[in-house]
Amino acid sequence: MKMSICVGIMVLSAFLAAFAQMLLKKSADEPHASLLGNYLNVKVISGYSIFFLTLVMNIYAYTSVPYKYGAVINAFSYTFALILSVFFLKDKITWRAVCGNLLIVLGIAVYSFDHFIP
């Protein structure tokens, strides 16, 4: 039971990390009045605060999730980033991005079901 909750926490953490990346990208695209304004604005501070939160979430989740699965679960952040970039950044999805994300999901599936392979 605890392991499934921790896996859910890691998936949520991967989603939040992708969201934080979107905040940082949006901030980088905006003009700022000063050099300090590039680093001290709401989007940047929020983005790095979310990254810190995901760090704490992952530390807790690793109490029940084996390390070999943690990196695989966190790879979902690339897929979440692709999806969020369409909504927040109005990016176009290219075939290369789709193929790359399909390879990531296929790798996750193969690695997750390794106990079925003799």
| Residues of the domain holding 57 | 2-116
At 64-111, the pLDDT tens digits run 998 888 888 888 899 999 999 999 888 899 999 999 999 988 888 887
Question: Which pTM value belongs to this model?
Answer: 0.85
Residue 62 pLDDT exceeds 90: yes
CA atoms within 13 A on the CB side of 62: 12
Distance CA 92, CA 75 (A): 21
Q: What percentage of the chain exceeds 90 in pLDDT?
A: 59
The total number of structural domains that make up the chain: 1
Residue 15 pLDDT exceeds 90: yes
